[in-house]
Amino acid sequence: MSVIKIDGNSLTIEEIVAVARRGIGVELTPSAREAIHQSHGWVEKIVDAGKPVYGINTGFGIFAEHQIPSKDSKKLSRNLILSHAVCTGEPLDDEIVRAAMLVRANTLAKGFSGVRVEVVETLLALLNKNLSPIIPSQGSLGSSGDLGPLSHMALVFTTDANDLEEESGQARYAGEIQTGKEAMARAGIGRIILGAKEGLAINNGATFSAAIAALAVDDAQTLLNACDVSLAMSLEAVKGCSAAFDERLHAARGHQGQIKVARAIRALTSGSNLIDAYGRIQDAYSLRCAPQVQGIAWETLAFVRGVIEREINAATDNPLLFDPGIAVSGGNFHGEPVGLVMDYLGIAMSEIASISERRTFRLTDGHLNADLPPMLVDRLSAAGLNSGLMMPQYTAASLVLENQTLSTPDSVHSLPTSAEQEDHNANSMTAARHTRDIIKNTAHVLAIEVYTAARALDLRLRQNPNTALGVGTQKAYGVVREKVAYQPGDAWWGPEIDQIRDLILAKMLEIPYNN
**Residues 216, 132: one domain?**
no
Count of the separate structural domains present in the chain: 2
Q: Determine the pLDDT at residue 1.
A: 64
| Residue 375, domain extent | 211-315+331-414+427-505
Query: Please, are residues 139 and 176 in contact by the beta-carbon 8 Å criterion?
Result: no
Q: Looking at the domain assignment, is residue 156 inside a domain?
A: yes
Alpha-carbon dihedral sign for residues 271, 272, 277, 283? negative
* pLDDT over threshold 80, residue 281: yes
Mean pLDDT of 473-488: 97
Q: Is 28 helix (H, G, I), strand (E, B) or coil?
A: strand
In a domain, 321, yes or no: no
pLDDT at 217 over 90: yes
From CA 207, how far away is CA 50, in angstroms rounded? 31
Q: Which of 157, 181, 205 is the last residue of a domain?
A: 205
175 and 235 part of one domain: no
Domain boundary, last residue among 176, 205, 234:
205
Q: How distant is the alpha carbon of residue 76 from its chain centre?
A: 34
Distance CA 94, CA 79 (A): 26
Please determine, for residue 180, whether its predicted confidence score (pLDDT) is greater than 80: yes
Active site residue 394: no
Q: Please say if the pLDDT value at position 79 is more than 60.
A: yes
- The model's pLDDT over 105-130, given as tens digits with 9 standing for 90+, comes to 999 999 999 999 999 999 999 999 99
The pLDDT score that the predictor gives to residue 55 is 81
| Cβ contact 212:432 at 8 Å | yes
Distance CA(369)–CA(389), nearest Å, equals 13
For residues 98-102, average pLDDT: 98
pLDDT band of residue 278 (cuts 50, 70, 90) is very high
For residues 31-40, give the mean pLDDT.
97
Residue 400 has pLDDT above 60, yes or no: yes
DSSP 8-state assignment for residue 373: P
Residue 421 lies in a domain: no
Which bin fits 50, alpha (ψ -120 to 50), beta or left (φ > 0)? left
Tell whether the model's pLDDT for residue 514 goes beyond 70: no
**For the chain, percent of residues with pLDDT exceeding 90:** 90
Beta strand 25-28 with 3-6: parallel, antiparallel or unpaired?
parallel
Query: 290 with 185, same domain?
Result: no
- The answer to whether the CB of 197 falls within 8 A of the CB of 159 is no
Same domain as 223, residue 196: no
Cα–Cα distance, 130 to 434 (Å, whole number): 26
User: Do 91 and 134 touch, CB atoms closer than 8 A?
Assistant: yes
To the nearest whole percent, how much of the chain has pLDDT over 70?
A: 99
State which of 138, 172, 205 marks the end of a domain.
205
Is residue 515 domain-resident? no
The verdict on 400 and 478 lying in the same domain is yes
Whether residues 179 and 216 fall in one domain: no
Q: How confident is the model at residue 420 (pLDDT cuts 50, 70, 90)?
A: confident
**pLDDT higher than threshold 80 for residue 335:** yes
How many CA atoms lie less than 13 Å away from 322 in the CB half-sphere?
Answer: 8
Q: Are residues 147 and 190 in the same domain?
A: yes
Question: How do residues 438-454 score in pLDDT, each as one tens digit?
Answer: 999 999 999 999 999 99
Domain assignment present for 382? yes
Is the model's pLDDT at 9 over the cut of 70?
Answer: yes
Residues 28 and 100 in one domain: yes
Tell me if 87 is assigned to some domain.
yes
User: Which has more pLDDT, 54 or 136?
Assistant: 136
- φ, ψ of residue 3 to 5 degrees: the values are -150, 145
User: Among the options 54, 285, 486, 513, which is catalytic?
Assistant: 54
Mean of pLDDT over the chain: 96
Lowest mean pLDDT among 72-76, 189-193, 200-204, 219-223: 72-76
Residue 513 has pLDDT above 80, yes or no: no
Element (H or E) spanning 192, and its range? strand 192-193
pTM > 0.95: yes or no: yes
- Do 299 and 167 lie in a common domain? no
**135: Cβ contacts below 8 Å, ≥ 6 apart:** 87, 91, 92, 96, 97, 100, 149, 152, 153, 208
pLDDT score recorded for residue 66:
81
Q: Are residues 238 and 280 in the same domain?
A: yes
Whether residues 245 and 97 fall in one domain = no
247 shares its domain with 354: yes
Residue 115 lies in a domain: yes
Q: CATH number for the domain including 375? A: 1.20.200.10
Position 118 scores a pLDDT of: 98
